[in-house]
Amino acid sequence: MKSPPFEYHRAGSAAEAAGLLGELGFDARILAGGQSLIPLMNLRLAAPGHLVDITGAPDLAGCGANGGGLHIGAGARQRTVELHADTLATAPVLADAISNAGQVPVRHQGTVVGSIAHADPSAEMPAAFKAQGGTVTAQGAGGTREIASEDFFEGYFTTALEEGELVTAVTVDAWPAGTGHGFLEFSVTAESWPIALAAVLIHTSGGAIDRASVVLGGVAEVPLRRPEAEAVLVGAEPGAEAFEAAAEAAATGIEPLSDSFGSGAYRKKLARVLTRRALTTAAERAGGDA
Amino acid sequence: MSTHDITVTINGAMTSANVESRRSLADFLRHDVGLVGTHIGCEQGACGACTVLIGGRSVRSCIMFAVQADGADIQTVESLAPGAEMHPLQEAFRRHQGLQCGFCTPGMLLRSLELINDNPDLTAEEAREGISSNMCRCTGYQYIVDAVLDAAAEMRAEEG
Amino acid sequence: MTVPEVRQHPEHLEWVGKSIPRVEDPKFLRGRGNYIDDYEVPNMLEVAVARSTMAHAKILSIDTSAAEAVPGVVAIVTSENVTDHVNPMPDFGPSPDKHTWYCLAVDKVRYMGEGVAVVAATSRAIAEDAAELIEVEYEPLEPLTDLLEALEDDAPLIHEALESNIPFQRNFTFGDVDGDFAAADVIVRDTLWWGRSGGQPLETVGAVADYDAATGMMTIHVNSMSFTHFLFLLANTLRVPSNKLDLQPHPSGGSFGAKFFEVKTATIAAMMARITGRPVKFMQDRLDNIANGDHHGSDRYYEVELAAKADGTLLSTRYKVVDNYGAYIQFGVGQHGNSLAQAVGPYRMSSIGYDLTAVLTNKCQQGAYRGFGSEVGNWILERMVDLMARELDMDPVDIRRMNFIQPDQFPYFIPTGNVYDSGDYEAVLNKTMELSDYKGWRERQAEMRAEGRHIGIGVCTCQERSVFSATEFWFWFDEPVAAPVTSAPESVTLKVDAMGAVTATLYSNASWGNSPETMVAQFVAEELGVEPEDVSVVYGGSNQGMPATGPGGSRFTIMVGGAVEGASQSIRAKAAKIAAHLLEANEDDLVWENGGFAVRGSPDQRKELAEIALAAHMFKHSLPEEIETGLEASHVQDHPYTTMPNPERTNLGVFYPFVGHASHVVVVEVDPETGRVEFLDYAAVHDCGTVVNPRSVGGQVIGGTVQGLGSTLYEEFLYDEDGVLRTPSFAEYLIPSAMDSPTLRVGHNETPSPYTPYGIKGGGEAGRMMAPSAICAAIDDALGIRIRRLPATPERIVEMVDAKD
């Protein structure tokens, strides 16, 4: 199928993009890589009247370490971020997430910010971003504001962005040395959409976990933080027993929906398995400093 | 209907055109430029039959609008063998029968070329993982992997 | 027809048996494949189909006014007026007047995605814009997708005229089934489900039609419809005289059966071309192809019983099978002929009971998919043999081996009436055991299990029938039947021009990812002593063409081989006369060798084919008067071995006689917590008689195996209970990627057929016909479960593990 017709606009800067969004109203969407949006348009499941292309805006390009965190501009391509030394150093859970997302040619074109702003609850990048934590910078006609990653995802493909706002960048907060991460997803084929995924970080100190983050994807309407699991982990000694208990806690109380890929019950089971295994990997990576 | 003037370099030649904003890069290449070697299998970015290289990097031309490619340096399968001689990669695909119906082949060739350019010494596992981005419904991939490895060796020898 | 003569195959073959590079490949490698969507003509319109959003509903009204107002729209046909333009689609089903189908739904829609309107416009995008604006008012009817529910008395009717949802039901008995079961020591029973997958070639179906009102000629360029000798059926649908329909074939970007008889796309393009007076292209998009492509694969439920003696000797199998055909049944139950052709597998069994019920539901209808139903039969039988081995505590290899039909028993008639021409199953099994290091893997399996790993090994030994006979279309019914056809021709014309260069013309649409041009080039090279790369292979349009059936049922290589052989004989016969004259020798004293005729005993006295051809074309007055100018011959090869069914249908005759064989050994590791299956090793040995091009056959085996893997583990066109298609794109209908596919070790065994040119048997469907059996056995072995339903998705595997615990 072919995309429905639309008007194409090119923004030379974030401000110009925000201006265009304000001017064009609800019928306008931001076009970055388009790797989530265009497939939907080609299926005629999305039909925006206007697309504002931001990939030519110099102030939205770029990716790199920024004051201890990782700054990712809205124009930065997934593959660039995935392979960037600063990502590997500062946010390896995000690098793992990206490497699991789509195929390499799609990642050449797609953007990290675009995927996060698309807010698919089954997608890799939103979950990894939320797991590590950080800030979304939004710009609208009224200026810019910062939204914490914790508050950004509100529902299925729905975020805290207001009409007329675009995400200009995200910043991923750094975790201290001694942090280990795990990112695991389960998909039926190597290239198919994940049924469920787990993004975790743990920090150990003096042989015990003193900070933990557990986020699941594919099990709820948003990338789902599992505070119950984190509570089990913090203070515990890293190991099979703690991880099994945390996985149990992570999968308890969630009510995933069913679709053609898998039932809610299966997703729940996967959530538990993936959490346990991701924590095990995270502990190995954190181990050096434990 | 919103149209735009674009200028792109396709297989080394500068081309200007006026395109409707919704025209996919794949449809532009196939139906406006007449380079029908870029195939369309799903229009959703899943299968990879439409893979072309932009600035040497593989992209899905079915989920990219032509207008987004304004200014880009595009390489399609037609660039591989402009004359009588085929590219070593094409020769290797032929030797190993790394194709049957030929429909995935242009995308598979360009993705393989990118893989070899990135890593001339790639292993079988790396070749397999690399081409996993592109679907083939005929071969079961094995002879494609064979062809990529053989082509890489040929191309290393030619470089050397 | 009687039994064909047993052939003496030549001991030395120059070209048959060599892995020459494929003749087809350079055009594909250069992106110049001339696929149907590459074909464009001036003034061409494109069409889009508006599809039903309901699974089952009456069409109350259709409003096209908004669509007509879209600039660029030229014509619209809807459910309400389609019957003004075309007749029903060709239908080989049991009672076509009671389950009639048109290229668009008429009166009611019977599955989600069925066409309700078609728009022709100046571009595909505009046609889609307009199609979206067509308003259809529906009265929803109760949807029906479950095949067992379809049998119930109060089930909603898919076709009211049929008065039930059962277009076909018959209980066949071949041999003394009751006697064999009475004599059995052990009977195992099971219930098995085969899920609906399909070919899903990367290229969809397309057609470009052009109607010339002045001549009345309808020309349609197509990438579907392999045959030409059934084209009069399409002419009838289009209401054009059969001699005014011309099909021009284009290479197909894969089919696997899914384009075999896809006539709807061409019908829609042709209908719109005649209405608009302009050339019209209809290129399916992926959603059209998945939802409305008329070629979903088998969708079956089985209750099976297998009877054996206590020592493992297999006696008989009773099948009760219900097949969910979807909304229409275009080929009837032909998919079951494919099962019955090899119903006993490679095993000596003296009887078969086959109780077949076809049902109609609110799903897209079935078509062909690589194996055409025989892959299902193989899986069922191998599942049952595995169950029997378990029951008798026998090794799955041993129970197979002890029941094999022995080499000295061929030709071997199976209870259904079909014959297995030749085989050496033990040799294939032994080669597979060796290739896979089966014993070594059993040892390693024990060690790995001790480490807590879930390793499984699966073995299968399966048949691959080839070259269907047309009797399969009608032997389901009592005579008299409407069309008890027996022809299944394949034709070729060979022309040796004045320079001695050979052109071969094919008359079916033969290029589907198989290697028709390579096969023909190798055969011509073998027969006429030329180099394969010097043979030019072209395709004749149907109107100027000869009768041909094309690829399907693994028939093409054998059939075109026979056609080339026949045409070559005619050419050599004429060439002999000319050579005799040129050499001033007696024709009886000439011998054909190395591409020319020489006088026996005087090898220096010879004329090359090129010299003879030059004389034949240019020097009429130097030759005897009766020799006509030119050197060209055509040959129509019909089915080499068909016999008629008996009136009682307790014997179906010979209808699929060239029967290959294969054994696969698979080693998997399964993650019991997620259900993921990983392949540690995969060995496959195939015997498809004399191999023409080993690399090509290897490619078919590997590709077919990966398709079989897909059908086994995840591929399925999934409809929910409301009839909603849940897998409308490649995001949901999952195809194996390179990372999901094993690296195969492929071996060949060659037991030549006594009845075919060079001893070839068909091998194109191989792989998919074996992989499901071997993979399921391996997964079972890894986890101690029993797979009874395909696809065995990760979730289903986990459920089975949980149910066991």
Which of these CATH numbers, 3.30.465.10, 3.30.1490.20, 1.10.1060.10, 3.30.565.10, describes A62-172? Answer: 3.30.465.10
Last residue of a domain, one of B53, B79, B105: B79
CA-CA distance, C388 to A224, in Å (whole number)?
A: 48
Share of chain C above pLDDT 70, in %: 100
Q: Based on the domain organization, do B11 and B74 belong to the same domain?
A: yes
Q: Based on the domain organization, do B75 and B108 belong to the same domain?
A: no
Tokens, residue A36: 């989530």
Cα A42 from chain centroid (whole Å): 24
**Chain B neighbours among C 508-567 (CB < 8 Å)?**
512-515
pTM for this entry: 0.98
CA-CA distance, C20 to C534, in Å (whole number)?
A: 13
Cα radius of gyration (chain B): 16
CATH architecture of C36-141+204-251+260-292: Alpha-Beta Complex (3.90)
Could you tell me if C338 and C377 are in contact, meaning their C-beta atoms sit under 8 angstroms apart? yes
> Is the per-residue pLDDT at B2 higher than 90?
no
CA-CA distance, B112 to B87, in Å (whole number)?
A: 12
Q: Do B100 and C286 touch (CB under 8 A)?
A: no
Instruction: Give the pLDDT band of residue A287 (cuts 50, 70, 90).
Output: confident
Q: Where exactly are the structural domains of chain C?
A: 25-33+489-637, 36-141+204-251+260-292, 378-470+651-804
**Min Cα separation B22/chain A (Å):** 6
Could you tell me if C415 and C650 are in contact, meaning their C-beta atoms sit under 8 angstroms apart? no
CA-CA distance, C269 to C272, in Å (whole number)?
A: 5
For residue C1, the model assigns a pLDDT of 57
What sign results for the dihedral spanned by CA atoms C732, C734, C738, C740?
Answer: positive
CATH architecture of A7-53: 2-Layer Sandwich (3.30)
Structural domains counted in chain B: 2
Average pLDDT over residues C572-578: 98
Residue C514: name the closest of C18, C15, C22 by CA.
Answer: C22
Cα radius of gyration (chain A): 19
Q: Do C741 and B141 touch (CB under 8 A)?
A: yes
Contacts of A270 in chain C (CB under 8 A): 674
CA-CA distance, C352 to C174, in Å (whole number)?
A: 5
Average pLDDT over residues A205-214: 96
* Chain A contact probe: residue of C674, C727, C800 with most A CBs at under 10 A: C674
Residue C22 per-residue DSSP state: P
For residue A290, the model assigns a pLDDT of 37
Q: Based on the domain organization, do B10 and B64 belong to the same domain?
A: yes
Angle of helix B88-96 relative to helix B142-159, nearest 10 degrees, comes to 140
A228-251 per-position pLDDT tens digit:
999 999 999 999 999 999 999 999
Average pLDDT over residues C232-242: 96
> Is the per-residue pLDDT at A289 higher than 60?
no
A245-271 per-position pLDDT tens digit:
999 999 999 999 999 889 999 999 999
A45 touches chain C (CB under 8 A): no
C383-401 per-position pLDDT tens digit:
999 999 999 999 999 999 9
Average pLDDT over residues C320-342: 97
Sequence-distant (6+) residues with CB within 8 A of C4 are C640, C641, C755
Buried b (16+ CB within 10 A) or exposed e, C13-36: eebbbbbbbbbbbeebbbbbbebb
We report the CATH number of the domain holding residue B65 as: 3.10.20.30
Instruction: Give the pLDDT band of residue C66 (cuts 50, 70, 90).
Output: very high
Tokens, residue C604: 């220096």
Q: What is the mean pLDDT of chain C?
A: 97
Sequence-distant (6+) residues with CB within 8 A of C601 are none
Average pLDDT over residues C2-28: 94
Q: What is the mean pLDDT of chain A?
A: 96
Q: Do C738 and B76 touch (CB under 8 A)?
A: no
CA-CA distance, C450 to C180, in Å (whole number)?
A: 43
Fold agreement between C25-33+489-637 and C378-470+651-804? yes
CA-CA distance, C510 to C494, in Å (whole number)?
A: 16
B108-153 per-position pLDDT tens digit:
999 999 999 999 999 999 999 999 999 999 999 999 999 999 999 9
Contacts of A2 in chain B (CB under 8 A): 22, 24, 27, 43
Q: Based on the domain organization, do B25 and B58 belong to the same domain?
A: yes
Q: Which of C24, C730, C739 sits opposite B129 (nearest CB)?
A: C739
Contacts of B76 in chain C (CB under 8 A): 31
CB burial of residue B29 (10 Å; 0-12, 13-18, 19+): buried
Closest residue, chain A, to C791 (C-alpha): A188
Q: What CATH class has A180-285?
A: alpha beta
Is the previous residue joined to C480 through a cis bond, with omega within 30 degrees of 0? Answer: yes
Residue B147 domain boundaries: 88-159
> Is the per-residue pLDDT at B1 higher than 70?
no
Q: Where exactly are the structural domains of chain A?
A: 7-53, 62-172, 180-285
Could you tell me if C334 and C473 are in contact, meaning their C-beta atoms sit under 8 angstroms apart? yes
Q: Based on the domain organization, do B20 and B39 belong to the same domain?
A: yes
Residues facing C140 on adjacent strands: C57
For residue C361, the model assigns a pLDDT of 98
For residue A68, the model assigns a pLDDT of 84
Instruction: Give the pLDDT band of residue A108 (cuts 50, 70, 90).
Output: very high
Contacts of B86 in chain C (CB under 8 A): 26, 29-30
Cβ neighbours of A94 (radius 10 Å): 32
Contacts of C18 in chain B (CB under 8 A): none
Cα A231 from chain centroid (whole Å): 22
- C-alpha pair distances (Å), A17 with each of A164, B22, C731: 9, 20, 31
Is the previous residue joined to C415 through a cis bond, with omega within 30 degrees of 0? Answer: no
C343-380 per-position pLDDT tens digit:
999 999 999 999 999 999 999 999 999 999 999 999 99
Angle of helix C264-276 relative to helix C231-238, nearest 10 degrees, comes to 40
> Is the per-residue pLDDT at C97 higher than 60?
yes
* Chain A contact probe: residue of B23, B27, B63, B125 with most A CBs at under 10 A: B63
B21 touches chain C (CB under 8 A): no
Q: Do B101 and C38 touch (CB under 8 A)?
A: no
Fold of C378-470+651-804: Aldehyde Oxidoreductase; domain 4 (3.30.365)
A5 touches chain C (CB under 8 A): yes
Average pLDDT over residues C286-298: 98
Cβ neighbours of C212 (radius 10 Å): 12
Residue C413: name the closest of C474, C343, C333 by CA.
Answer: C343
Q: Do C674 and A4 touch (CB under 8 A)?
A: no
Which of these CATH numbers, 3.30.530.20, 3.30.365.10, 3.30.70.260, 3.40.50.11290, describes C25-33+489-637? Answer: 3.30.365.10
**Chain A neighbours among C 714-733 (CB < 8 Å)?**
714, 718, 726-727, 729, 731-732
Cβ neighbours of C686 (radius 10 Å): 30
Q: Based on the domain organization, do B93 and B151 belong to the same domain?
A: yes
Tokens, residue B86: 């085929």
* Chain A contact probe: residue of C283, C734, C799 with most A CBs at under 10 A: C734
Q: Which of B2, B44, B130 sits opposite A7 (nearest CB)?
A: B2
Cα radius of gyration (chain C): 27
For residue C569, the model assigns a pLDDT of 98
- C-alpha pair distances (Å), C617 with each of A143, C66, C257, C635: 86, 63, 42, 20
We report the CATH number of the domain holding residue B148 as: 1.10.150.120
For residue C15, the model assigns a pLDDT of 97
Q: Based on the domain organization, do B64 and B119 belong to the same domain?
A: no
The subunits that touch chain A, with at least 3 C-beta pairs less than 8 Å apart, are B, C
Query: Helix or strand or coil: residue C554?
Result: coil
> Is the per-residue pLDDT at C2 higher than 80?
no
